[in-house]
Structure 1
Amino acid sequence: MQTETKEGSPEMAEGGGERWCVVTGGRGFAARHLVEMLLRSQEWWVRVADLSPSIVLEPHEEDGVLGAGIRSGRAAYVSADLRNKAQVVKALNGAEVVFHMAAPDSSINNYQLHYSVNVEGTKNVIDACFECKVKRLIYTSSPSVVFDGVHGIFNGEESMPYPDKFNDSYSETKAEGEKQVMKANGRNGLLTCCIRPSSIFGPGDKLLVPSLVAAARAGKSKFIIGDGNNMYDFTYVENVAYGHVCAERTLASEVGTNKAAGQAYFITNMEPIKFWEFISLIIEGLGYERPGTKIPFSVIMPVAHAVEWTYRVFSRYGMRVPQLTPSRIRLLTCNRTFSCAKAKDQLGYEPIVTLKEGLKRTIESYSHLRAQPQRKISKASIYLGDGKIAKTVLWKDKKQTVTTLLLLAAMYYHLFSCGYTFITAMAKLLSLTALFLFIHGMLPTRILGYNIEKLQPSNFHVSEVKAQHIACSVSSSWNSAVGVIKSLCKGKDWLLFLRAICFLFVLNVLGAMSLQTTFKIGIPVFFIAFYVYEKWEDSIDNLFEDASSYILKLRSNATQKFSRN
Structure 2
Amino acid sequence: MELRTCVVLGGRTVIGKALVSRLLSLDHWVVRVADSAQQLDLDDGDSLLSKSISNGRASYFSVDLRNTDRLIQAINGSSVVFHVDDVDLYSDNFFLSYTLIVQGAKNVVNACRECKVKKLVYQSTADVVSDGSRDIDNGDESLPYAWKFENMCTDLRAQAEALVLFANDIDGLLTCAVRPCNVFGPGEKQLVPSVIDIAKSGWAKFIIGCGAHISDFTYMENVAHALVCAEEALGSQMVAVSGKAFFVTNLEPTRFWDFVSLISEGLGYQRPMIQLPAGMLKYIFVYVRWVHAQLNSVKLRHLKGIHYVVRLATSNKTFDCSSAQKHIGYSPVVSMEDGVALTVQSFSSFAKASSYSVYRDFDEQSKVDKLLGGGRVADVLLWKDERKSFACFGVLVLAYYWLFLCGNTFISSAAQLLVLFTFVLYGYGELPSNISGVKFPKMSASSFEISEVDMKTFSGAIAHIWKRIGDVIRILAQGQDWNTFFKVVALLYLFKWYVFHSLTTSIGVAIVLAFTLFFVYEQYEEEIDGIAEILLNLTRALTGFMLKNLPVSVAYILGTHEIMHENNENDDPAHFKDHM
Pair in the same fold by TM > 0.5: yes
Whole-Å Cα distance in 2 between the matches of residues 237 and 217 of structure 1?
A: 24
2:75 corresponds to which of 80, 92, 103: 92
Aligned partner of residue 372 in structure 1, secondary structure: coil
Whole-Å Cα distance in 2 between the matches of residues 386 and 360 of structure 1?
A: 37
Please list, as runs of the form range in 1=range in 2, the aligned pairs for 1:349-388 lying within 5 A after superposition. 349-373=330-354, 376-378=364-366, 381=369, 384-385=373-374
By how many angstroms is 1:77 displaced? 1.2
2:247 corresponds to which of 266, 279, 287: 266
By how many angstroms is 1:319 displaced? 7.5
Which residue is 2:149 aligned to? Answer: 166
Is structure 2 residue 180 aligned with structure 1 residue 180?
Answer: no
Asked if 1 retains the 8 angstrom alpha-carbon contact of 2:382 and 2:518, the reply is: no
Aligned partner of residue 55 in structure 1, secondary structure: coil
Is structure 2 residue 214 aligned with structure 1 residue 231?
Answer: yes
Is structure 2 residue 241 aligned with structure 1 residue 283?
Answer: no
Aligned partner of residue 23 in structure 1, secondary structure: strand
1:348 corresponds to which of 329, 338, 352: 329
Asked if 1 retains the 8 angstrom alpha-carbon contact of 2:105 and 2:160, the reply is: yes
By how many angstroms is 1:391 displaced? 8.6
Which residue is 1:130 aligned to? Answer: 113
Aligned partner of residue 203 in structure 2, secondary structure: coil
Q: Return the letter of the residue paired with 2:176.
A: C
Which residue is 1:298 aligned to? Answer: 279
Is structure 2 residue 293 aligned with structure 1 residue 320?
Answer: no
Whole-Å Cα distance in 2 between the matches of residues 150 and 327 of structure 1?
A: 13
Q: Return the letter of the residue paired with 2:198.
A: A
Cα distance change of structure 1 residues 115 and 25 upon mapping to structure 2, 3 Å threshold = same
Gaps of 5+ in 2: 356-362, 422-437, 469-498, 527-580
Aligned partner of residue 323 in structure 1, secondary structure: helix
Asked if 1 retains the 8 angstrom alpha-carbon contact of 2:214 and 2:315, the reply is: yes
CA-based RMSD: 4.5
By how many angstroms is 1:307 displaced? 3.4
Aligned partner of residue 410 in structure 2, secondary structure: coil
By how many angstroms is 1:427 displaced? 3.6
Gaps of 5+ in 1: 1-15, 432-463, 486-496, 511-515, 536-565
Deviation string for 1:373-407 (max 9, x for gaps)?
A: 3672258626644789359479xx9xx9xxx8xx9
Aligned partner of residue 164 in structure 1, secondary structure: coil
Deviation string for 1:13-35 (max 9, x for gaps)?
A: xxx97422111111111111111
Please list, as runs of the form range in 1=range in 2, the aligned pairs for 1:441-452 lying within 5 A after superposition. none
Asked if 2 retains the 8 angstrom alpha-carbon contact of 1:148 and 1:163, the reply is: yes
Which residue is 2:32 aligned to? Answer: 47
Aligned partner of residue 90 in structure 1, secondary structure: helix
By how many angstroms is 1:310 displaced? 3.5
Asked if 2 retains the 8 angstrom alpha-carbon contact of 1:221 and 1:290, the reply is: yes
Please list, as runs of the form range in 1=range in 2, the aligned pairs for 1:149-228 lying within 5 A after superposition. 149-228=132-211
By how many angstroms is 1:312 displaced? 5.4
Q: Return the letter of the residue paired with 1:100.
A: H
Whole-Å Cα distance in 1 between the matches of residues 279 and 461 of structure 2?
A: 50
Q: Return the letter of the residue paired with 1:243.
A: A
Which residue is 2:493 aligned to? Answer: none
Is structure 2 residue 378 aligned with structure 1 residue 420?
Answer: no
Cα distance change of structure 1 residues 416 and 389 upon mapping to structure 2, 3 Å threshold = farther
Which residue is 2:17 aligned to? Answer: 32
Q: Return the letter of the residue paired with 1:376.
A: E
Q: Return the letter of the residue paired with 1:73.
A: G
Which residue is 2:233 aligned to? Answer: 250
Which residue is 1:550 aligned to? Answer: none
Q: Return the letter of the residue paired with 1:156.
A: G
Aligned partner of residue 103 in structure 1, secondary structure: coil
Asked if 2 retains the 8 angstrom alpha-carbon contact of 1:236 and 1:358, the reply is: yes
By how many angstroms is 1:276 displaced? 1.3
Cα distance change of structure 1 residues 425 and 393 upon mapping to structure 2, 3 Å threshold = farther
Deviation string for 1:398-456 (max 9, x for gaps)?
A: xx9xxx8xx98x9499379997359718949x99xxxxxxxxxxxxxxxxxxxxxxxxx
Asked if 2 retains the 8 angstrom alpha-carbon contact of 1:20 and 1:97, the reply is: yes
Aligned partner of residue 323 in structure 2, secondary structure: helix
Aligned partner of residue 240 in structure 2, secondary structure: coil
Cα distance change of structure 1 residues 59 and 387 upon mapping to structure 2, 3 Å threshold = farther
Whole-Å Cα distance in 2 between the matches of residues 298 and 379 of structure 1?
A: 34
By how many angstroms is 1:218 displaced? 2.6
By how many angstroms is 1:86 displaced? 1.3
Asked if 1 retains the 8 angstrom alpha-carbon contact of 2:368 and 2:518, the reply is: no
Whole-Å Cα distance in 2 between the matches of residues 425 and 139 of structure 1?
A: 79
Whole-Å Cα distance in 2 between the matches of residues 425 and 300 of structure 1?
A: 47
Is structure 2 residue 461 aligned with structure 1 residue 503?
Answer: yes
By how many angstroms is 1:135 displaced? 1.0
Cα distance change of structure 1 residues 288 and 308 upon mapping to structure 2, 3 Å threshold = closer
Asked if 2 retains the 8 angstrom alpha-carbon contact of 1:305 and 1:325, the reply is: no
Aligned partner of residue 94 in structure 1, secondary structure: coil
By how many angstroms is 1:132 displaced? 1.4
Which residue is 1:389 aligned to? Answer: 378
Whole-Å Cα distance in 2 between the matches of residues 221 and 377 of structure 1?
A: 21
Deviation string for 1:205-244 (max 9, x for gaps)?
A: 2333333223213312122222111110001111111100
Asked if 2 retains the 8 angstrom alpha-carbon contact of 1:33 and 1:237, the reply is: yes
Deviation string for 1:325-368 (max 9, x for gaps)?
A: 87764333111111101101100111112112222222233333
Aligned partner of residue 279 in structure 1, secondary structure: helix
Asked if 2 retains the 8 angstrom alpha-carbon contact of 1:198 and 1:235, the reply is: yes
Q: Return the letter of the residue paired with 2:369.
A: S
Q: Return the letter of the residue paired with 2:315.
A: C
2:129 corresponds to which of 108, 132, 146: 146
Asked if 1 retains the 8 angstrom alpha-carbon contact of 2:215 and 2:256, the reply is: yes
Cα distance change of structure 1 residues 422 and 284 upon mapping to structure 2, 3 Å threshold = farther
Whole-Å Cα distance in 1 between the matches of residues 61 and 265 of structure 2?
A: 40
Aligned partner of residue 302 in structure 1, secondary structure: helix
Whole-Å Cα distance in 2 between the matches of residues 249 and 265 of structure 1?
A: 14
2:85 corresponds to which of 81, 85, 102: 102
By how many angstroms is 1:263 displaced? 0.5
TM-score (norm 1): 0.68
Cα distance change of structure 1 residues 100 and 390 upon mapping to structure 2, 3 Å threshold = same
Aligned partner of residue 258 in structure 1, secondary structure: helix
By how many angstroms is 1:275 displaced? 1.1
Cα distance change of structure 1 residues 329 and 359 upon mapping to structure 2, 3 Å threshold = closer
TM-score (norm 2): 0.66
Cα distance change of structure 1 residues 504 and 314 upon mapping to structure 2, 3 Å threshold = closer
Deviation string for 1:35-54 (max 9, x for gaps)?
A: 11111111111111111101
By how many angstroms is 1:266 displaced? 0.3
Whole-Å Cα distance in 1 between the matches of residues 377 and 231 of structure 2?
A: 56
Q: Return the letter of the residue paired with 1:35.
A: V
Asked if 1 retains the 8 angstrom alpha-carbon contact of 2:195 and 2:306, the reply is: no
Asked if 1 retains the 8 angstrom alpha-carbon contact of 2:182 and 2:191, the reply is: no
Whole-Å Cα distance in 1 between the matches of residues 34 and 236 of structure 2?
A: 26
Asked if 1 retains the 8 angstrom alpha-carbon contact of 2:126 and 2:180, the reply is: yes
